[in-house]
Amino acid sequence: MRHPVDARRPAIYLVVGVVLALGAALLGGPAATGAPAGPAPAPQAAAPAQPAPACTEVRESLRPRGPLPAPGAMPAGSTMAAIAQRGRLIAGVDQGKFLTGYRNSLTGTLEGSDIDVVHTIAKAIFGDPQRVQFVVLNIADRATALERDQVDVVVNNFTVTCERQRTVEFSAPYMPASQRLLVPLGSGIREVEDLGGRTVCTSLGSTTEVVLRDLGLQVETLPGIPDCVLEMQRGRVAAVSSDDVILAGLAAQDPNTRVVGRALDTARYAVGMRPDEPDLVRFVNGVLEAARADGSLAASNRFWYTGRLDPVPPPPPPVYRD
Amino acid sequence: MSLDLESTTRPPASGAGSGLRRRLRVLATGPTTPDRLRRVGAVLVLGCLLAGVFSLVDGSARTGAVRDGGTRIAAVHADAAEMYRSLADADAMATSGFVSGGQEPAQLRARYDRDIADTTARLVHAAGLLPADDPAAPAIAPISAQLPVYTGLVESARTLNRLGYPLGQSNLDSASRLMAREILPAADELRALQATALTDAFGRAASTPFAVLLIGLAALAAVVDAAVRERRRTQRVLSVGLTAAAAAVVVMLLWWVVATSVASGRLGDAERHSGVADTLDDARAAVLQARSNESLVLVARGGGAADTGFTTAIDGVLGTTTEPGLLAAAADAAEPATDDRIAAVRTAADEWRTAHRTLRELDDGGLYREAVASATGEDPGGSGAAFDRLGGVLGETIDAERAAFRAASDAAAAALTGLAVGPAVLALVAAAAAAYGIGQRAEEYR
C-alpha cells in the first residue's frame, strides 16, 4: 500500500523534464553553422605561350600590282572596296606605347609612328586619314584579332616572324628595330650578362621572350611592356627588355631609366593582314612604297624619334617574293 | 517508499555539528506525514527553481543574440555592403574619369574622393566592432593593406595622365586589377561572413524554447499533481500556495510562448528584408562592374568584342530567358509593398541597357567622341545619365530595405525585453508559493 503523501511522482515529473530540457538545450544549440564558402580565387594569368618548333625561313611580302588606285575609287570586288563600303578602316593598335602607338591623354586621340601608318592607309582608301576605327589589342591578341576578323590590319610593333606567317600575311617592313634593355639609372647593368640571375621582364607572347629565355635569363612576362616598367619602378624586376623603339618611348616617360646593351635580336615591323586577302597586302605595300618615295614615312619617324633614338630608324627598303 | 536509497546504506552520523545533517536525514527519510510533505515541498521548490534557472540562462542568451545580431553584426554587415559598393564605385569613377581624357571631370573626381573616404570610415567602424578572434577579422586585413596601394596607383595614373604619358593607363589597369582580384573579394567575403553570423544569431533568438517549455511543463505537472493529491487527501479546497505556484508557472510559460513567437515573426521579417537588401547589393555590384567595363572598353578602345563583360553583368541583374536574374530574385523574396520599387529599378536598368547599346553602336560605328559624350553624362539621354539614375533608384531601394530590417529587428528585441529576468522572477515566486503551500499543510501536523 502506498502512502498518500509521496514525493516520488513530482520528482519523476521533474527528472523527466530536466532530462528532456537538457537534451533540447544541447541539441538545439547553435551548432549548425556551416563554414561559409570563401570567394573563389581570382583566375591567374594564362601560362606563357610555348615557343613553337624552330622555323627560320621568313617569307618576303607580295609586290604591289600596277599603280595605286585613286582614293575613293577602289577596284570593284576587292577587300579595299569592302572597307570603303563600310566607311572606315578597322585597325588593331596599341594605346600604351609612347611614341609608337599611344593615347594622347590631353586630346584623347591615338598618336605615334604606328598610328601615322594607319592614317596613311586610311587616306589611300578614303582620301581622309581620319576614317579609322581603332581597336586596342594586347600584344598576345594581335594574330588572333586578324583570325577572328575583328580588324582589317594590325599596326602594332608587329614583328615579322616565320611562326606568325602561318596565320598572318605581313606587308613589307616599314621600320627596323633591335631588342635591348631598359634599366634604372645607376643600376650598373650595361649588358644582359650584368643581370646576374636577376629577373628581366617582357610582354607575354612576344618574340623577345624567346630570345631572353634562349640566353638563359630569369624572365617574367606581363600583359604589356608598360606593366613591366611599373614592376621595375617598384624594384621587383631588374630590367625590361623589348625593342629599342618601344624602350625609347618608356625612357622618355621616366627620366630615371635608360636604354642599354647590344642588340640581342633584330626585328622588322610590318603591317599584319589576313592571308586570304592578298589584294589588301599588295595595296598596303603600294601605299608604303609611296610613303617611302615622298619621304612621309621617314618624316614620321624623325618626328617621333629624333633625340630619343640615335640613329632615327630609317624605313628599310622593300623586298618582295612576288 | 521514497528517494532514500543512499541514506539507508550510510552509517548514522554522530558527534557535534550533526544537527543539520540529522534534520536533512529526517527530511530525506522521515516516515511521518509531515516529513513526507516536506519532501514533496522540496521537490516542488527545486523544480520551480530549475525552471527559473533555465529561463534566466536561455532568456539572457536570446536577448543577447538578438541585440548582437540587430546591432553589432548588422552594423558590420552594413559596413561590408557599403564598403563593397563604395570600392566598386571608386573604381568605376576612376576608370570613367579616364574616358574623357586629359582633365578628369570634377564631379567624377569628387565622387571618387567621397567613395574612398566612405570606405575608410566604414573600415574603421567595422574593425572597431569585430572582436580580434572573430572569424571575419582576417577579411578586414587585405582591404586595409591594399587600399593605400590602390589609391597610390590611381594617383600615379592621374599624374602621368596629366603629363600626357600613356604609363598612366598602365597604372590604372594595374589598380583596377588589384581592386578586382584582391580588395573587392575581401569585402565580399566580409559581407558573406556577416550575413551568415546574422542568420545564426537570429536563428538562436527565434528558435522554439524547448528546454524552458519542457522543464516549465514538468514543474507545472509536479505542482498540479501535488495540489490535486493534497486536495483529494485532505478533502478540502485547493491549497492557496500551490494554486498560486501553478498560476505563476503558467504565466511564465505563456510569457515565453508569446515573446518568442512574436520575436520569431519579427526576426523572420528582418531576415527577409536583409536578404532582399543583399540581393539588391549584388545587383548594385553587378551594375558597377558593368559600368567599369563600359568605361574600360571605351578607354582601351577594345571595340564591341570586349563588351561581353557588360552584357554578362547586366544580364545577371535583369535576367535572361533561361536565368531569372537578381531583380526577379529580390522581387520574389520581397514583400508586395516593395514590388513597385523593384519594378522602378528594373525600368531604370532597362533604360541604361538601351542607352548602353546606343553607345556601343556609336563607338562601333566609328563615332568615338559621341560615344564618350554618352558615357561621361554630357548627353542627358546617354549612358552616363541613365547609369546615374539607376544608381539612385537602386540606392533608395536598398536603403529602404535596410531601414525595414532595422525596424523589424528592433521590434524583435522589444518583444524579448524582460525575457531574461521576468519569467525567472515568476519561477522564484512559484517556488516561494509552493514552499508556503506545503509548509502550511506540514504545520497542521504539529
CA distances from B39 to B10, B49, B159, B279, B335 (A): 19, 15, 88, 60, 57
> How confident is the model over A282-311, as a mean pLDDT?
92
- Put simply, the answer to whether B214 touches A2 (Cβ < 8 Å) is no
In sequence order, the 6+-apart residues with CB closer than 8 A to the CB of B73 are: B194, B197, B198, B201
B104, B184, B225, B301, best to mutate vs chain A, most A CBs in 10 Å? B301
SS3 labels along B148-208: HHHHHHHHHHHHHHHHCCCHHHHHHHHHHHHHHHHHHHHHHHHHHHHHHHHHHHHHHHHCC
Least Cα separation, residue B347 to chain A (angstroms): 31
User: Are A289 and A275 found together in one domain?
Assistant: yes
Residue of A nearest to B178 (CA): A42
pLDDT category of residue A32 using cuts at 50, 70 and 90: very low
Pairing state between β A272-273 and A257-269: unpaired
**DSSP assignment string, A198-239:** -EEEEETT-HHHHHHHHTT-EEEEESSHHHHHHHHHTTSSSE
What pLDDT is recorded for position B372?
Answer: 83
The C-alpha cell 550533526 sits at B18
CA atoms of B95 and B298, how far apart (whole Å): 10
Assess whether pLDDT exceeds 50 at residue A64.
yes
Helical axes B33-67 vs B240-300, angle rounded to 10°: 20
Same domain, A97 and A211: no
Burial of B395 (0-12, 13-18, 19+ CB in 10 A): middle
Dihedral sign for Cα B163, B165, B169, B172, please. Answer: negative
Residue of A nearest to B40 (CA): A7
What does the pLDDT read at residue A30?
40
Instruction: Give the residue on A whose Cα is nearest the Cα of B54.
Output: A21
Strand order in the sheet with A169-170: A132-136, A89-93, A153-154, A272-273, A169-170
If asked whether residues A166 and A188 sit together in one domain, one would say no
The reply to whether A72 falls in a domain is no
Residue A105 and residue A124 in one domain? yes
> Edge-to-edge strand order for the sheet containing A101-103?
A96-97, A101-103, A110-111
Give the model confidence (pLDDT) of A231-276 as tens digits.
999 899 999 999 999 999 999 998 899 999 899 988 899 999 999 9
Nearest CA among B187, B183, B160 for reference residue B91: B183
Q: Which pLDDT belongs to residue A207? A: 78
Higher pLDDT, A56 or B170: B170
Asked if residue A139 belongs to a domain, the reply is yes
- Name which of A2, A10, A229 is nearest B167 (Cβ-Cβ): A229
pLDDT digits 0-9 by tens, A82-135: 999 988 899 999 877 889 998 887 777 889 999 999 999 999 999 999 888 888
pTM metric for this prediction: 0.73
Beta bridge partners of A200: A219, A239
Min Cα–Cα distance to chain A from B275, Å: 16
In a domain, A41, yes or no: no
Is A314 inside a domain boundary?
no
> All 3 cell numbers of residue B58?
536561455
pLDDT of residue A35: 37
**Alpha carbons B236 and B289: distance in angstroms, whole number:** 81
User: Which of A266, A296, A316 is where one domain is finished?
Assistant: A266
Closest by CA position to A259, among listed A267, A251, A270: A251
Is B58 within 8 Å of chain A by CB?
A: yes
- Interatomic CA distance for residues A312 and B357, integer angstroms: 45
- pLDDT for the residue B17: 54
CB-based contact A229:A254 (threshold 8 Å)? yes
The span from the CA of A131 to the CA of A134, in Å, is 10
CB contact under 8 A, A98 and B303: no
User: Distance between CA A97 and CA B406 in Å, rounded?
Assistant: 53
Q: Is A311 exposed, middle or buried (0-12, 13-18, 19+ CB in 10 A)?
A: exposed
C-alpha span between B326 and A159 (Å, rounded): 47
Whole-angstrom Cα distance, residue A154 to residue B425? 85
Burial-class residue B63 by CB neighbours within 10 Å (0-12, 13-18, 19+).
buried
Q: Which residue among A5, A96, A148 places its CB closest to the CB of B169?
A: A96
Instruction: Give 3-state DSSP helix, strand, coil % of chain B, rounded to 5.
Output: 85, 0, 15
Contacts of residue A251 in chain B, CB cutoff 8 Å? Answer: none
Does any domain span residue A9?
no
* Whether residue A206 sits in one domain with residue A101: no
| Mean pLDDT along residues A137-150 | 84
Q: Which residues of B are less than 8 Å from A253 in CB distance?
A: 160, 165-167
B25: amino acid identity, one letter? R
- Does residue A3 lie in a domain region? no
Q: What is the DSSP string of B265-281?
A: HHHHHHHHHHHHHHHHH
Unique residue bearing C-alpha cell 593607363: B169
Q: What is the ipTM of this complex?
A: 0.71
Alpha-carbon distance of B427 to B216, in angstroms, equals 9
DSSP 8-state assignment for residue A242: E
**How many CB atoms are closer than 10 A to CB B388?**
15
pLDDT at B166: 83
Same domain? For A216 and A228 the reply is yes
CATH number of the domain within which A93 lies: 3.40.190.10
Which pLDDT does position A53 carry in this prediction? 57
Of A14, A97, A136, the CB nearest to B46: A14
Residues A225 and A198 in one domain: yes
> Are B59 and B424 a contacting pair, CB within 8 Å?
yes
Q: Write out chain A residues lying below 8 Å of B211, CB-based.
A: 21-22, 24-25, 28
Q: State whether residue B71 sits within 8 Å of chain A by CB.
A: no
| Domain count for chain A | 2
Same domain? For A169 and A92 the reply is yes
Query: Which chain A residues are within 8 Å of B134, Cβ to Cβ?
Result: none
| pLDDT at residue number A3 | 58
If you measure CA to CA, which chain A residue comes closest to B174?
A227
Helical (H) or strand (E) element with A264: strand A257-269
DSSP assignments along A86-102, one per residue: HTSEEEEE-SEETTTEE
> Do A38 and B189 form a contact (C-beta atoms < 8 A)?
yes
Whether residue A181 sits in one domain with residue A167:
no
Of A13, A21, A132, the CB nearest to B54: A21
**What pLDDT was estimated at residue A49?**
47
Residue A294 forms part of a structural domain:
yes
DSSP state of A124: H
Inside any domain, residue A31: no
Would you give per-residue pLDDT tens digits along chain B (446 residues)?
444 444 444 444 444 456 777 777 766 666 777 777 778 788 888 888 888 888 888 888 888 888 888 788 888 888 888 898 899 889 888 888 877 666 778 888 899 999 999 999 999 998 888 888 888 888 888 899 999 999 999 999 888 888 888 888 788 888 888 888 889 889 988 888 888 888 888 888 878 888 888 888 888 888 888 888 877 777 777 778 888 888 888 898 899 888 888 888 888 888 888 888 888 888 888 888 888 888 877 876 655 556 777 888 888 888 877 778 888 888 888 777 788 888 888 889 889 999 998 888 888 776 777 888 888 777 778 888 899 899 899 988 988 888 888 888 888 888 888 888 888 888 888 888 888 888 777 777 76
Question: Domain span at residue A288?
Answer: 79-174+270-305
Contacts of B303 in chain A (CB under 8 A): 90, 133, 135, 150
* Cis omega (within 30 of 0) for bond into A275: no
Q: Above 80 in pLDDT, residue A294? A: yes
Q: What is the pLDDT of residue B2?
A: 43
The answer on A300 and A162 residing in a single domain is: yes
Q: Are residue A135 and residue A283 in the same domain, yes or no?
A: yes
| Contact criterion met (CB < 8 Å) for B366 and A87 | yes
- Interface subset of B 186-215, CB within 8 angstroms of A: 188-189, 192-193, 196, 200, 203-204, 207-208, 210-212, 214-215
End-to-end CA distance of chain B: 23
- Same domain assignment for residues A87 and A212: no
